Chains A and B, each alone.
Chain A
Amino acid sequence: MQVDKENWSLIIEPHEKWWNLRIKEIWSYRELVLIFVRRDIVAVYKQTILGPLWFFLAPIFTVVAYNFVFGSIAGMSTDGIPGPVFYLSGTTLWNYFSTCFTATSNTFTDNAAIFGKVYFPRMIAPIATVISTLFKFGVQLLMFFSLVAYYMFFTDSNLEITKWAWLFPLLVIMMGGLALGVGIILSAMTTKYRDLKNFIGFGVTLLMYVSPVIYPVSAVPDSYKWFVKFNPISPIIEAFRLGFTGVGTVDAIDLVYSGAFISVILLIGVILFHRVERTFMDTV
């Protein structure tokens, strides 16, 4: 019997060590991630003919509104680049973050039906969300690139593509990682504290105002700069702008700081999430 005990391939116990994050198990379910991603995209396509069109309409109206309010009325700086390009560069990345964040923070409530019946690593669901949102992001990105191309070739604007553009994939991964990290922290907390849900919506809005989405870091008064610099989102957006419009206030240290910040958030998120996923069905 002693030998036999070592043959168990699965042992279900009340508690697990907090450092056992089951990364290997998540990796073994990678096919499920792809299938979830496919489901999300296909389902959006099939539901309405207008479905994908909304991906365009929403940012267009947003940019028009920003251009009017912050550009024309408030007269805020756009670092010398054309208003529409400036605002679209900010909102494209920002929308990716906020969509991922809002969706992943609802992981447990949105998936309660599936989670209640079948076991698979729960992390699969938010990971799939972050990846499938890339599709919507891609559509908006295409729009942004078209706009940049238009201004570069048909107007005498000072836009230029710099070598920072090579960092683009990394920037997207950082943005997704941050959204995932913060999202799963909140999803773990909302299973216990329902009232946090009220905070998420306006928290996202607040966060946008302390991120350089509608203003460049260069326009922030020196006494407040530390505050914007503390925000890990700032270097990502500024680096993106520097890459595709040629203007931005960022250096390598800022990005390293941002990367470190995101890694810590992700680690905390995974640990918290893992603690909650085992028994959350009892409390939903």
Chain B
Amino acid sequence: MSNTIISVENLSKQYRLGMVGSGTLREDLVGWWYKVRGKEDPYLKLGETNTRDAKAGSDYVWALKDVNFEVKQGEVLGIIGKNGAGKSTLLKLLSRVTAPTTGCIKAKGRIASLLEVGTGFHPELTGKENVYLNGSIMGMRREEITRKLDEIIDFAGVERYIDTPVKRYSSGMYVRLAFAVAAHLEPEILIVDEVLAVGDAEFQKKAIGKMEDVSSGQGRTVLFVSHNMKAVSTMCSRTLLMEDGSIAFNGNTDEAVDRYLSLGGVQNDLLRFEEDLPDNDTLIKLHYSKIIIPESGVIKTSNVIPIEVKLSFSEPIDFFHLNMHVWTASEIHLFEASTEAIKIAKGDVKTFTFFIPKWLLNESQYFCVFNFVIDKSRVIYKTPRVLRFSVVESLEDNGLLWYGRTYGVLSVKVDSTIS
């Protein structure tokens, strides 16, 4: 027997843009009356002219088109993709918020979704009352909730406030309580969507730990949708990359994440190389400056960043060195670096390469400015901001013990000892 727990077959969902139906009873009744008398529906006619219009083709949109995949028992499947790629639609169909247009989903066991935690929370009710309310909406039995109540309260860390109306809760407490209920659902299939966007570091660890427990310890299946690539790659063995309503990639998580980062268009437009530069001093010609991009297509915080600058010289120089200044996009002057000073002969063409060490630049955008220096001190030319690049967060462990974004200008790996 196969241990497939979810099977999605040719699943499609079509949305109609604009008004659905004619919208008013009057128009439909008039249309019906015309039809009864064997005439054309005046409103339908209007619609038909519209469909002959050039723009009419976009009246319907496929939010999902022919999606097929299977999930095995106990698997943690990541689902990633740009906004509008169809992730949310897929989850809505899986959690039965809306019905598909074609295709079908088959599942074994209870599916619980955390499309947004805290569904149905009523501000006037106390924490405990909301645990019961929310738990029941999610499909838990009353005695099941009673049995787990202490555990839930403990997990959320809101013991002191459990008899206070949730309208007095801080947003963090609110979310923790909501997630705590969800975490104790024990469905066979759990759908998690972006819960890690909220809550503090300690809570995130708890949440991820719980999800890992649920999948490995209890053999449950988790579908995890997130924009947090680090969390996805930590937790998911397999990942679906969605693009324009279909599955662009289904397989190994690291590969899916790399594809997402490079194809995703998130950073692509920020990797700009200005190769054709305005003519500078005829003495030295700048051919190009560029970054050697790693194979994955993106520069990560765990990569050494090689920056290559090619220059040609029309006159001999005794001492020449190239000096580089790195700025953040928010105009913080980070550091400068220089090559060694060399002797240049007439007509020389040289390639200078700087290596920015790994674990230095944090996820952000940067630009470089180069100085041409002779005689070890005289700057004869200063380039404009010729080189822009962006760095994305690495999935490798940076020793921070959490999965959220790394704060600060730099992302430095610092050794520590405890005595």
| Contact surface of A with B, Cβ cutoff 8 Å | 1, 3-4, 7-15, 29, 31-32, 35-36, 38-39, 42-43, 46-47, 113-120, 189, 192-196, 278-279, 281-283
Contacts and interface: CB of A to CB of B under 8 A. Distances in A.
B141 interface: yes
Given A4-B1, A117-B115, A282-B15, A39 B97 contact: no
Given A1-B2, A42-B129, A281-B92, A193 B24 contact: yes
B93 A12 contact: yes
Interface stretch (B101-109, B221-229, B242-250, B328-336): B101-109
Contact of B102 (A9, A14, A118): A14
B123 to A, nearest CB: 9
Contacts of B100: 12-14
Interface residues of B, number: 50
Interface stretch (B43-51, B131-139, B207-215, B276-284): B131-139
Nearest to A190: B25
B100 to A, nearest CB: 5
B23 interface: yes
Considering residues B113, B120, B124, which has the most beta carbons from chain A within 10 angstroms of its beta carbon?
B120
Contacts of A47: 124
Contacts, number: 123
Contacts of A118: 95, 97, 113, 115, 119-120, 137-138
B116 interface: yes
Interface in B12-63: 15-16, 20-21, 23-26, 28
Contacts of A196: 25
Contacts of B111: 10
A15 B133 CA distance: 30
Contacts of A117: 95, 97, 113, 115-116, 119
Contact of A13 (B92, B104, B107, B137): B104
A99 to B, nearest CB: 20
Given A12-B104, A118-B120, A282-B20, A195 B125 contact: no
Given A114-B120, A118-B95, A9 B141 contact: no
B279 to A, nearest CB: 59
B122 A116 contact: no
Contacts of A192: 20-21, 23
Given A8-B106, A35-B133, A282-B20, A119 B97 contact: yes
A125 to B, nearest CB: 11
Given A14-B103, A192-B21, 6 more contacts: A4-B2, A15-B99, A116-B115, A192-B23, A195-B24, A279-B99
Contacts of A15: 99
Given A46-B165, A114-B120, A117-B119, A7 B108 contact: yes
B385 interface: no
A43 B113 contact: no
A278 B98 contact: yes
Contacts of B116: 117
A115 B97 contact: yes
B104 A11 contact: yes
A282 B98 contact: yes
Contacts of A46: 124-125, 165
Contacts of A279: 98-99
Contacts of B25: 189, 193, 195-196
Contact of A114 (B24, B108, B119): B119
22 contacts: A11-B104, A11-B107, A12-B93, A12-B94, A13-B100, A14-B102, A31-B142, A32-B136, A39-B133, A42-B125, A43-B125, A113-B119, A117-B95, A117-B97, A119-B95, A120-B137, A192-B20, A193-B23, A193-B28, A196-B25, A282-B16, A282-B98
A39 B142 contact: no
Contact of B105 (A11, A114, A281): A11
Nearest to A195: B24
B346 interface: no
Given A4-B1, A9-B109, A278 B122 contact: no
B23 A194 contact: yes
- Which 10 residue pairs of A and B lie closest in terms of their CB atoms, listed nearest first? A119-B96, A193-B25, A278-B99, A12-B105, A8-B106, A283-B20, A281-B98, A10-B107, A32-B136, A117-B115
A15 B99 CA distance: 8
Considering residues A113, A114, A192, which has the most beta carbons from chain B within 10 angstroms of its beta carbon?
A192
A71 B108 CA distance: 65
Nearest to B100: A14
A46 B165 CA distance: 10
